[in-house]
A and B are shown apart, each in its own frame.
Chain A
Amino acid sequence: SQKIEQNSEALNIQEGKTATLTCNYTNYSPAYLQWYRQDPGRGPVFLLLIRENEKEKRKERLKVTFDTTLKQSLFHITASQPADSATYLCALITGGFKTIFGAGTRLFVKA
C-alpha cells in the first residue's frame, strides 16, 4: 500500500543547531515533493517544492533534498531559532496534482 512516513516523535534541538527532518515514502512515484509548516490551529504554509529531477533546493536557512532511489526527502533548518518550532509536513504531489500529506514531525527549538 502507499505510505508516507515522517518521524512521529517530536524533535527537540538547541537553538543554533541544524534540525533535520525525514520523509520516506513507498509505492508512490511523485512528480513533486513539498514541505509545509503548520502551527497549531492554522492551515499549512508552503515552504519549498522540489521536483523529481532535482537533488537539492535551498531557501535562506532551509534546505531540501530529494532521493527518488531511496524514496526519501530530508528537510534541514540551519541555525535554528525558537520561532522555527512548529509541525513540518511533507507532501507528495501525484498525478492530477493530488496532494498526499505525511502526519508531520513536531519540532521544538529550545533557547
Chain B
Amino acid sequence: GAVVSQHPSWVICKSGTSVKIECRSLDFQATTMFWYRQFPKQSLMLMATSNEGSKATYEQGVEKDKFLINHASLTLSTLTVTSAHPEDSSFYICSAKTTNEKLFFGSGTQLSVL
C-alpha cells in the first residue's frame, strides 16, 4: 500500500515554543491531506483539511492561527503548533488521500509540552 511518512515521531518542547510536524506521501501524490489529534483512549478528531496550493480548511473550534498548516507540494504538508502550551500535548496524526479514495496515515507524532 501507499506510504505516508510523518516526522518527528515524538517531540518534547518548552511552553511557548513552536513545533513543526511534517507529513510526506512517499510513493504517491496527495492533493489532499488531513490532520488529526487524538487524546488517550479517544477517537481521532479531524483538525483540518489541507489542499495543495490553497489555504487549509479548519474544523470548528480549531484555531487556525495556532495550528498553521502548509501544503506547498503534492507530497508534503506541515503542521506547526505555535506557542505551544501543555494543553496542546497530544498525539497528532496526518493522512493523505489517494486517487482511488483510500486514506493512508502517518505513524503519528506524540507532542509533549512542558
A96 CA to B34 CA in the complex, in Å? 12
Find A89's partner among B44, B101, B104, B106 (CB 8 Å cutoff): B44
**Binary contact readout B35-56 vs A (1 if CB under 8 angstroms, 0 otherwise):** 0100001111110010000000
Contact (Cβ within 8 A) A97 B108: no
Given A42-B108, A45-B105, A103-B43: A97 touches B6 (CB 8 Å cut-off): no
A100 near B46: Cβ-Cβ < 8 Å: yes
Q: Is the interface of B mostly helix, strand, loop or mixed?
A: strand
A49 to B103, CA, bound (A): 10
**How many chain B residues touch A (Cβ–Cβ < 8 Å)?**
26
Tell me the B residues contacting A by CB distance below 8 Å: 1, 4, 6, 32, 34, 36, 41-46, 49, 91, 93, 95, 97, 101-108, 110
**CB within 8 Å of B: which residues of A?**
32, 34, 36, 41-46, 49, 89, 91, 93, 96-104
